Structure 1
Amino acid sequence: MNSSSHNTPDMGGKSNIAPAVPAHVIFKLLGFTLAMIVIPIGSYFLTLNSIFQGNSTFAGATAAIMANVVLVGYVIVAMKEDQSEAIEAAAKESKKEL
């Protein structure tokens, strides 16, 4: 066996140029990244003087809670997306069998 035959692509074949991660997944990740930065910091400064009268402990706790809310939201969205992709794959597989 020639070792170079395993590493060279077929001249007549087309290479797969589809992105490894779909664009909508990247946009969701960027959106949740921005939310993870803006929402906790914003909630800290919004609640520091307006709700908690300068008590930074409570404002910090609010920021931590909001960070967890964003994280849980991301997990829920990711799980729903994964389930919908599995359902679509099963539907395509059943169409192939018919």
Structure 2
Amino acid sequence: MTSRRIISDEKTILDKDDHLSPGSGASQDSSDTAPAVPTDVIMKLLAFTFAMVIVPIGSYFLTVNTIFKGNSTYAGGLAALMANVVLIGYVVVAINEDQTEQLDAKKKAQGKKD
């Protein structure tokens, strides 16, 4: 078997990308360290992820012996229904958040005109 040996003095593509050319207009001093996604969005996603795991499983085990008297089919159906409720809740929260961002942008645009 033969393998290709990498010669250490060759520049790889990654090495070439590390150095900016002087005419590129980019400066290494200015860097944007702001997160790509706001923290409140990440927290909402984590909360709904947690709810998506806990609510259906919890509703199944809470109702299988208490409400449905051992009928796991009905308890499983309720768990599926609760998973859909959590999912619909996430969609509603996401739509409302998007609408508030659009309203804020309109208010800023109107404030600049006045």
Q: Same fold (TM over 0.5)?
A: yes
| 1:1-98 pair list within 5 angstroms | 4=21, 5-6=23-24, 9-10=26-27, 14-98=30-114
Percent of residue pairs identical:
56
In structure 2, runs of 5+ residues without a counterpart are 1-19
- Distance between the aligned counterparts of 2:105 and 2:77, measured in 1? 42
Q: Which residue of the partner structure matches residue 8 of structure 2?
A: none
In structure 1, runs of 5+ residues without a counterpart are none
Greater Rg over alpha carbons, structure: 2
User: What one-letter code is carried by the residue in structure 2 that aligns with 1:76?
Assistant: V
- Distance between the aligned counterparts of 2:110 and 2:78, measured in 1? 48
User: What one-letter code is carried by the residue in structure 2 that aligns with 1:30?
Assistant: L
Structure 1 stretches of 4+ moved >4 Å: none
TM-score (norm 1): 0.86
Distance change >3 Å, CA 16–CA 94, structure 1 → 2:
farther
TM-score (norm 2): 0.75
- Distance between the aligned counterparts of 2:58 and 2:109, measured in 1? 46
- More helix per residue: 1
- CA RMSD, aligned part only? 1.7
